[in-house]
């Protein structure tokens, strides 16, 4: 690990912090911040995938084709993309705590409003509004974590954050199956209406908790001593010094490797949305029709992704070879997509393919997000992380529409799975050979 000893003063005099003390301070901060942040991210991710569980009832009730369903799913991403960078720049000005709370409350209300949708155009409009309200949440949280954790811990911390997305699939998939299967008709509401209502209203409560419990800066943390604050701030400042980094949004865009990261994240998100939106459909087509069983089987790739991201987070922090781990996970993702296409009619082998796919796709996202902070600081980090995420989210527009259109034209999702697998291969090659020296260098951090 890089120099983790520092001297900080408190009321009793001067104290030297060593490696064990530093780890204890990081654990203290993580236990204070991460549980609430992870719960928020769990609901954010569920807000993205609940549309896949609602698909069959929603299409039947509204009379939607697969292309129309794909368009509605993508309109969420369009709203998100259009407002993401402005949202994160505003977050930088007003403070992460207030803005993240605003995002959660507004998107929670918009998601709950899906209970009023009864035709195709209302579906399109509200999906766009939900995306616009959620815009900036993920990059805003990622930026917030850079204010509290030194780079040498960010692989593990980012993995903890995205572990919430895996748990969202792990817990959310079976619960969604139960809601769709057993609450249909309760109080005169469709099962998919209940799904959106139960996914939206808790976000309002969480937004209020964010406003009350989180702090914007280390200096505001009353649960840290003066010495701990000084030490932590010093470690973040010391480890975050990189030459030729982008300190503003335009500076970030001009930084070598920035747009390449945007392309890589675009391709990763094509794969991610392919898994999130179509896994329940693939399992159903393979021969499983019980909504509860579909939910349980859909949880398998997220279980594998959760295990993989924890292991990779620790290994990448220990080795500093972030880029090579992302490469390996993308190769794993490609294998999963190709195998899902080959075994699309055999449920057992399909679930194995989805497990490999989930391990690669789900774990590649937190592994990737350890790379942008090597290039970006300050306002450049706030706006730049948002812009990379925006470029990536374009994959969320391409993927659902592409898969839906291919299925409408061919009657099968298999050709689209092969296309996404090929994109994963291209992405892996870019990670291995297309990165600038600043991102190719390993960082021995722990």
The mean pLDDT value for 93-111 works out to 90
The mean pLDDT value for 11-20 works out to 51
Q: Provide the token pair at 446.
A: 């722990």
List 7's β-bridge partners, or say none.
16
Asked whether the predicted pLDDT for residue 5 surpasses 80, the reply is no
Weakest mean pLDDT among 39-43, 173-177, 279-283, 433-437: 173-177
CB 301 within 8 A of CB 332: no
The residue among 204, 203, 216, 202 whose CA lies nearest residue 98 is 216
Q: What share of the chain is helix, strand, coil (3-state, %, to 5)?
A: 80, 5, 15
CB 64 within 8 A of CB 123: yes
CB 67 within 8 A of CB 118: no
3-state secondary structure of 222: coil
Q: Provide the token pair at 388.
A: 């990379």
Percent with pLDDT over 90 in the chain? 18
* Structural fold of domain 19-440: Growth Hormone; Chain: A; (1.20.1250)
The mean pLDDT value for 398-422 works out to 83
Q: How far apart are CA 130 and CA 113, in angstroms?
A: 9
CB atoms under 10 Å from CB of 254, counted, come to: 13
CB 255 within 8 A of CB 376: yes
Spatial neighbors of 52 by CB under 8 A, at least 6 apart, are: 73, 276, 277, 278, 279, 280, 281
pTM for the structure as a whole: 0.69
- pLDDT tens-place string over residues 294-315: 878 888 898 898 888 888 878 8
Q: Sign of the C-alpha dihedral, residues 183, 184, 189, 190?
A: positive
Mean pLDDT for the chain overall? 81
CB atoms under 10 Å from CB of 325, counted, come to: 22
Asked whether the predicted pLDDT for residue 49 surpasses 80, the reply is no
The residue among 232, 206, 205 whose CA lies nearest residue 218 is 232
When pLDDT is cut at 50, 70 and 90, the band that residue 86 belongs to is: confident
Of 318 and 338, which is predicted with more confidence? 338
Asked whether the predicted pLDDT for residue 444 surpasses 60, the reply is no
List 438's β-bridge partners, or say none.
none
The residue among 407, 318, 397 whose CA lies nearest residue 78 is 397
Q: How far apart are CA 46 and CA 244, in angstroms?
A: 37
- pLDDT tens-place string over residues 220-233: 888 888 888 888 88
The phi and psi torsions of 10 (rounded to 5 degrees) equal -135, -170
When pLDDT is cut at 50, 70 and 90, the band that residue 129 belongs to is: very high
Q: How far apart are CA 369 and CA 388, in angstroms?
A: 10
CB 322 within 8 A of CB 371: yes
List 13's β-bridge partners, or say none.
10
List 17's β-bridge partners, or say none.
6
Q: Provide the token pair at 20.
A: 């064990």
The residue among 173, 403, 180, 418 whose CA lies nearest residue 302 is 173
CB atoms under 10 Å from CB of 390, counted, come to: 24
CB 430 within 8 A of CB 260: yes
The mean pLDDT value for 247-266 works out to 79
Q: How far apart are CA 123 and CA 410, in angstroms?
A: 25
Residue 246 is classified by DSSP as: B
Q: How far apart are CA 7 and CA 22, in angstroms?
A: 11
Of 350 and 246, which is predicted with more confidence? 350
């Amino acid at each position: 690990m890089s120099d983790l000893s520092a001297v900080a003063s408190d009321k009793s005099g001067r104290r030297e912090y060593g490696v064990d003390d530093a780890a204890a301070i990081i654990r203290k901060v993580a236990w204070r911040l991460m549980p609430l942040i992870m719960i928020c991210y769990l609901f954010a991710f569920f807000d993205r995938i609940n549309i896949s569980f609602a698909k069959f009832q929603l299409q039947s009730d509204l009379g939607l084709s697969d292309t129309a369903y794909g368009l509605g799913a993508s309109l969420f991403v369009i709203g998100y993309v259009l407002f993401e960078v402005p949202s994160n720049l505003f977050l930088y000005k007003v403070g992460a705590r207030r803005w993240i709370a605003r995002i959660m409350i507004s998107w929670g209300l918009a998601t709950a409003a899906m209970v009023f949708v009864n035709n195709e155009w209302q579906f399109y409009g509200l999906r766009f509004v939900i995306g616009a309200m959620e815009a900036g949440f993920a990059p805003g949280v990622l930026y917030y974590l850079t204010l509290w954790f030194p780079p040498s811990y960010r692989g593990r911390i980012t993995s903890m954050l995205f572990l919430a997305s895996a748990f969202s699939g792990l817990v959310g998939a079976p619960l969604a199956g139960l809601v769709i299967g057993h609450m249909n008709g309760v109080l005169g509401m469709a099962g998919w209406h209940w799904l959106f209502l139960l996914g939206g209203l808790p976000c309002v409560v969480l937004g209020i908790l964010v406003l009350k419990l989180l702090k914007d800066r280390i200096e505001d943390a009353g649960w840290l001593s003066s010495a701990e604050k000084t030490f932590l701030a010093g470690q973040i400042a010391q480890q975050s010094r990189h030459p030729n980094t982008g300190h503003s949004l335009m500076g970030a865009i001009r930084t070598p490797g920035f747009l390449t990261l945007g392309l890589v994240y675009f391709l990763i998100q094509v794969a991610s949305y392919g898994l999130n939106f179509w896994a329940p459909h693939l399992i159903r087509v393979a021969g499983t029709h019980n909504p509860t069983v579909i939910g349980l089987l859909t949880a398998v790739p997220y279980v594998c992704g959760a295990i993989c991201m924890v292991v990779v987070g620790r290994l990448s922090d220990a080795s500093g070879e972030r880029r090579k781990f992302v490469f390996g996970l993308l190769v794993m993702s490609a294998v999963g997509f190709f195998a899902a296409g080959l075994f699309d009619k055999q449920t057992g082998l399909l679930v194995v393919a989805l497990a490999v796919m989930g391990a690669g796709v789900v774990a590649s996202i937190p592994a990737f997000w350890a790379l942008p902070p090597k290039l970006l600081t300050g306002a450049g980090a706030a706006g730049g992380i948002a812009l990379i995420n925006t470029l990536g989210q374009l994959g969320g527009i391409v993927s659902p529409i592409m898969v839906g259109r291919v299925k409408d034209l061919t009657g099968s999702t298999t050709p689209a799975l092969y296309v996404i697998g090929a994109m994963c291969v291209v992405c892996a090659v870019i990670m291995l050979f297309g990165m600038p020296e600043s991102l190719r260098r390993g960082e021995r951090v722990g």
